[in-house]
Amino acid sequence: MACIEARGLHKAFGTTVALDEVNLHIDEGRIVGLIGPNGAGKTTALNAILGLTPYDGELKVLGRDPWNLRDQLMRDVSFIADVAVLPPWIRVTQVLDYVAGVHPHFDRAKSEAFLAKTAIKRGSKVRELSKGMITQLHLAIVMAIDAKLLVLDEPTLGLDILYRKQFYDSLLNDYFDHNRTILVTTHQVEEIQDVLTDLMFINRGRIVLSCTMDEFQSRYTELMVRPEQLAAARALKPIRERQALGRSILLFNSVDRQQLAALGEVRTPSIADLFVALMGDKPGEARGVAQ
């Protein structure tokens, strides 16, 4: 069964189109990165999926209509919006009590076990915790919920590198299994490259790229070209060319890797490089995209 299925998903704020007839299909058991520049429609898409905003078109999350059945859907969906949504006045024990009191799939013991590995005191209020600790607390709650879909919107925003690494390690080692789906948006694309199974680029309310990471690796190749081969390489129509350390680096879409290897060193590009190539140097402006 598809975890998320959207057909003609559309949302406009006045004259600004945030989601432009989006079609989306995300299977169960995937870890999908939704990447896009600011204002591309990422948060609107997530809000529609979570039942936080009304929309036009058809959208089913775990078979349910999120806008009309948000409270039911939230039994099977967890989400971390960003670091600052736990209420500042609540105590750690109170937030555990509350979630245990309202959530049918929350395992309090699991949450306590995760918290025991942190420096968070049970009696502390959220406002007394550091940004990193608040994220750990939120993660401790979310990981103890037996959900089918976890949505993360910039979950590591403003965290230092240790917390960020720990965050994804915990998710992968202690949480993810092939019955769950994770949908994550972040600007720190480099740190989720190894985590993802699927990649989606969104720009100006449209999905401009949607592929698995395997497809990404086989389709896109980066070539650090030898200077004398530059003309030959350019003839193969790179989608982007940039300079680094005095050498030209060309990014190719669906060009045979063997053929390129004859012209220089080849490697798989980073998501960030492909992002820049597809989105253009001007934010919010996509070049022609091969899909």
Q: Which residues bind another protein (CB under 8 A)?
A: 47, 50-54, 70-75, 77-81, 84-91, 94, 97-99, 101-105, 138, 146
The residue (of 80 and 143) whose beta carbon lies closer to another protein is 80
Q: How far is the CB of 75 from another protein (least distance, A)?
A: 4
H-type helices in 127-221, by residue range? Answer: 131-143, 161-170, 213-219
The residue (of 47 and 111) whose beta carbon lies closer to another protein is 47
Q: How far is the CB of 188 from another protein (least distance, A)?
A: 20
Structure tokens at 112: 């306590």
Residue 259 φ then ψ, to 5°:
-60, -40
Q: How far is the CB of 50 from another protein (least distance, A)?
A: 7
Q: Which 3 state secondary structure label does DSSP give 209?
A: strand
Q: How far apart are CA 129 and CA 132, in angstroms?
A: 8
CB-CB neighbours of 217 under 10 Å: 12
What amino acid occupies position 227? P
Q: How far apart are CA 29 and CA 179, in angstroms?
A: 5
Q: How far is the CB of 218 from another protein (least distance, A)?
A: 36
Q: How far is the CB of 252 from another protein (least distance, A)?
A: 41
The residue (of 154 and 273) whose beta carbon lies closer to another protein is 154
Contact 223, 265 (CB under 8 A): yes
Angstrom distances, CA of residue 8 to CA of 37, 176, 219: 21, 30, 27
The residue (of 102 and 262) whose beta carbon lies closer to another protein is 102
The residue (of 9 and 150) whose beta carbon lies closer to another protein is 150
Contact 167, 140 (CB under 8 A): no
Q: How far is the CB of 157 from another protein (least distance, A)?
A: 13
Contact 61, 149 (CB under 8 A): yes
Tell me the residue ranges of DSSP E strands in 213-261.
Answer: 220-225, 240-244, 247-253
The residue (of 90 and 211) whose beta carbon lies closer to another protein is 90
